Amino acid sequence: MELLLLFVTALALCLAFALWWVLGRGSRRSRRRVRRALRGENAAEKLLEDDGYRVIDRQLTASWQILVDGTPREAQVRADLLVENRDGQRFVAEVKTGKLAPNPMYPPTRRQLLEYWFVFDPDGLLLVDVEAGVVSEVVFPVD
């Protein structure tokens, strides 16, 4: 009986340690990702300012209603930056890092930009590739 109790206790301790290890690693990854994103947004602001844009707002949100089977649902969207050029035109700027995400032809990025175009109705969209130091204007022409 004592041996069984010792085994169950040891098993519980091993499971608790495994859970702590898994959750702790996930937290570190999340913190690292957040730090990288913040560094990227700070670098993006500098790139945009160097290109003549002025930051108006950060992490701006908007919502709109969509109908799902006739039932109205509220959807929200959050963009990285709202900037203004010297002519007073406003642009939503999306900051991206990595290999695929900064490419406007990468489907998730393209869909995100298209959603910004629809929801925010800006004068234009800017895609900021922080690692390459490039700011690209993206337009969805409507004919």
- Helix, strand or coil for residue 132? coil
Is the pLDDT at 92 greater than 60? The verdict is yes
Q: Look-up: residue for tokens 């990595």? A: 98
Considering the entire predicted model, what is its pTM?
Answer: 0.74
- Burial class of 11 by CB neighbour count within 10 A (0 to 12, 13 to 18, 19+): exposed
Q: How do residues 33-85 score in pLDDT, each as one tens digit?
A: 667 767 778 888 999 999 999 999 999 999 989 999 999 999 999 999 999 99
Torsion, Cα of 47, 53, 57, 58 (10° steps): -10
Q: In this structure, how many other beta carbons lie within 10 angstroms of the beta carbon of residue 90?
A: 16
Q: How do residues 94-142 score in pLDDT, each as one tens digit?
A: 999 888 898 999 999 999 999 999 999 999 999 999 999 999 999 988 8
How far apart are the C-alpha atoms of 49 and 44, rounded to whole Å? 9
Q: How do residues 20-45 score in pLDDT, each as one tens digit?
A: 555 665 577 767 766 776 777 888 89
Instruction: For residue 44, give the DSSP letter.
Output: H
